[in-house]
Each structure stands twice: as structure tokens, then as C-alpha cells.
Chain A
Amino acid sequence: MARQLVIVAREHPDLYFYLRERFAGRAQAEVLLDRRLGQRRAEQLPVPSERRRQDRRARPDIDTVLRSRSHVIVTLA
């Protein structure tokens, strides 16, 4: 059975907490707060240019979606 992730943008904590409670203990789905952008913004850490290029290449879809909506559903094959 495919596992699914719901990744919630940091700007929508109420949605994150609701979904996390609603799907608690369900093996098929996991609810996550998008921590990468939050950590990057909060800590203002310098990022090596090579890693930055890799990250941007790696998950442009998720980043794009989370800029325009509260969450994204990702299916793990």
C-alpha cells in the first residue's frame, strides 16, 4: 500500500495540528510541517551554493505548491 504525506506550510499551523490529530496512528498517512523553509528563514544559515542548487532542483514542485496553498499531498511509491 502506498504511503502518503501531507506537508503543511508553516503559515498554517491550525491546519497542521488538526490534520495531525485527525490522522494520528494511521499507518497510511503522515502529516508534517514544512520545516525546511522554516529552519532556513529562522536561522538565516549560510547555505553552500552547490547544496542550494541541489535543493532547488530536488523539490521545486513542493516549494511551488506551498507558496500558493496551505498544504500538499505527496504519494510515496
Chain B
Amino acid sequence: MIQHPGKTDVGEIRDRILDKGITVRIVRDGNGSGAPAPSAVGAGELSSASEAPALRIVQKAFDAWNDHDVERYTAMLDEGYVGETHHTASALRGPEDARRAMKSILEAFPDLRFTIESALTVGDDVLVSWRALPSEVPGCTVTRLQGRRITHTWTYWDAPNGFQSTATSPR
């Protein structure tokens, strides 16, 4: 959270952040240590009260991934779900497609986990910044919700080879 009392003009604040400098505290983890936090994110700290339910739903989706619970994850998906990954030409379409993909990924990377580092909720869209373990490769996912169902995800890996990078042990 930026500590900048008395200033309300976002454009000015933005310019000060980018060009002139301003005291900034970035919400990265729950304990301020700089180490990856558990998947739970302080929703109220990151989003307004009305947007917290959306973030909680997305957190549950990540929890299902971290528990390697394919059924729990796919149950959260809308029938019209579309899953896209940057640099990947084909999209996942529907919960069954997602189920097969998740099983395949978890078989290939049995130690895969995601730690959520920060999040942003805008209406029905939730941007989650994460770090994949054990490689600690960072990335993010934008999830769109309709009600309590996930209708679309777009995932971006900071490393160009995506999931393959998770096979690398942390440094």
C-alpha cells in the first residue's frame, strides 16, 4: 500500500511512482519477510469488501491445484470454460478438457504447487500473481468468474517454457 496521504489524483501519484519516486510498500506476502506466502491471501487487504468473494473463489481454485484435487478444481469450472496459456496455441474448452490437462500436468510435475503472492480483483476478473514450486518460476493468472463459476483463465509464465520450467529445482 502506498503511503501518500492527501493525494487523490491517480495520474499524479502514478507519475510520482514511475518517475520521481514515492514511498511504496508492496503487498507480496503475509509476513513481510519477502518469502513466498502460503496460498491464503488477505483478501480484505487487497480488494474491497464487495470484491473479496471473487478472490476467495479463485483462492479455492488454487487450493484445489495445490491439493492436486482434480475433481474439486473441475467442479468449479463453468460448462463453457475456456483456459488459455500464453505461448500456447490451443485452448482448453470445457471442464472435461481441463480435467484431462490437469491430470496430465500433475503426472508430469508431481511436486507442482503455487504460492499466491498478490492479487487484484476488478469486477468479475481476478489477477493472481503466483510463484510455481519447486522451481519458483513466477507468473500470473487472470480468472473470469460468472457467479461462483470460473468461465475463463489466462495464464502467463514469466519463463517462456512455462510448465517445463517447473521441473527445475529451486536455486
Chain A contacts to B: CB under 8 angstroms: 1-7, 12, 14-15, 18-19, 22-23, 26, 28-30, 32, 34-36, 54-55, 57-59, 61-62, 65, 68-77
Contact = CB atoms under 8 A, between A and B. Distances in A.
Contact of A70 (B13, B21, B139): B139
Tell me the dominant secondary structure on chain A's binding face.
mixed
Interface of B: 1-5, 10, 13-14, 17-28, 46, 48, 86, 118-120, 122-123, 125, 127, 129, 138-140, 142, 154, 156, 158
B125 A74 contact: no
Interface centre among B13, B18, B123 (most CB of A within 10 A): B18
Contact of B140 (A4, A7, A61, A70): A70
B122 A75 contact: no
Contacts of B1: 2, 75-77
Given A15-B156, A70-B140, A65 B10 contact: no
Contact of B2 (A30, A57, A76): A76
Contacts, number: 106
Contacts of A65: 26, 28
Closest 7 CB pairs of A and B: A58-B21, A69-B138, A73-B118, A70-B158, A26-B122, A61-B26, A75-B1
Contact of A73 (B5, B17, B119, B142): B119
Given A15-B156, A19-B142, A32-B18, A69 B129 contact: yes
B85 to A, nearest CB: 12
Contacts of B139: 70
Contacts of A26: 122-123
Contact of A77 (B2, B122, B156, B158): B2
24 contacts: A1-B48, A5-B17, A18-B154, A22-B154, A26-B123, A28-B48, A30-B10, A32-B14, A34-B18, A35-B18, A54-B21, A55-B20, A57-B21, A58-B20, A58-B23, A61-B26, A62-B26, A69-B138, A70-B139, A70-B156, A70-B158, A73-B129, A77-B1, A77-B2
B63 to A, nearest CB: 20
A36 B4 CA distance: 20
B55 to A, nearest CB: 12
Nearest to B125: A22
B10 A76 contact: yes
